[in-house]
Amino acid sequence: MNLLAFSGFPRGRKSQLDLIPEDVKAFKAAVRKAKLAIRPQELCFLIQGEDRKGAVAEVLGKLADRKVNVVANGAVSAGSGRYATILWVKPADVNKASKALGAS
């Protein structure tokens, strides 16, 4: 199973893992086969690019300009001069965020 990204953090006495698979259908099939309990699918944005000062701020600025609030964000250096950021917005703002980021 190839994951594009994942994020994990404590949630009360448990943990939350956000897994971003390359192939969603294959991921869901593997989860069913393993009989794992997962929460319903949520949408997020995985943004990758050339690492430079202000790269993530530019992405967040595009959302702010369209009045889209970010629920959560995690950014990392991807090595070789690249970065990646994962961000989540409220479900009602997914389309607006998509347009702001040029994903639609």
Chain segment 36-63, per-residue pLDDT in tens: 988 888 889 999 999 999 999 999 999 9
Residues 48 and 35 in one domain: no
Q: E strands within the chain? A: 3-11, 14-21, 45-50, 70-79, 82-89
Domain that holds residue 2: 1-41
Which CATH number fits the domain that encloses residue 70? 3.30.70.260
Whole-Å CA distances, 99 to 8, 14, 33, 66, 89: 27, 35, 36, 9, 13
Q: What is the 8-class DSSP label of residue 16? A: E
Residues 50 and 66 in one domain: yes
Residues 34 and 11 in one domain: yes
Residues 21 and 49 in one domain: no
Residues 21 and 52 in one domain: no
Residue 78 pLDDT more than 90?
no
Residues 32 and 48 in one domain: no
3-state SS assignment for residue 64: helix
Q: How many domains are contained in the chain?
A: 2
Residue 98 pLDDT more than 70?
yes
pTM, to two decimals: 0.83
Tokens of 86: 């994962």
C-alpha to C-alpha distance for 11 and 19, rounded to whole angstroms? 15
Residues 81 and 61 in one domain: yes
